[in-house]
Amino acid sequence: MSDETKLVYVCDGGDCTERGSGDIHETLKQHLLEIDPDEEKVRVRRYPCFGGCECGVNVTVAPDRVFYSQVTLADLPDIEKHLLGEGPKVERLTGKVDPEVEDMAFMMLDSPY
């Protein structure tokens, strides 16, 4: 994994799962693997819960420190453009979760443990 590789985590908590996070994870992962089969640019993984349950489905992007909320399958093309460096972050999906929740999520993701 290079320093430029983006790590994308799709929430797998109860509320997000009920809102379709499994479909979002699988669709995003499969499409990006078609473009980047060795995961050199983007890696997509599940994450147990970020704590922003009321705003799910939540998706984070590191090292960009972007916290997407209320993500649907229809949002994936715009998110993919951001992940591949072909577009900016998707502003309409940011700023929905309390900033302290976002900071805590990135603190956990940045942890070496």
What pTM was computed for the model? 0.92
23-50 pLDDT, tens digit each: 999 999 999 999 999 999 999 999 999 9
CATH of the domain at 55: 3.40.30.10
Assess whether pLDDT exceeds 60 at residue 51. Answer: yes
Rg (CA), the chain: 13
36 is in which domain, residue-wise? Answer: 6-110
How does residue 4 score in pLDDT terms, banded at 50, 70 and 90?
A: confident
Identify the burial level of 15 via C-beta atoms within 10 angstroms of its C-beta, where 0-12 means exposed, 13-18 middle and 19 or more buried: middle
Whether 54 is covered by a domain: the verdict is yes
Is position 1 within any domain?
no
**Is 51 a member of any domain?**
yes
Please tell me the total count of domains within the chain.
1
pLDDT at 2 over 70: no
Q: Is residue 48 part of a domain?
A: yes
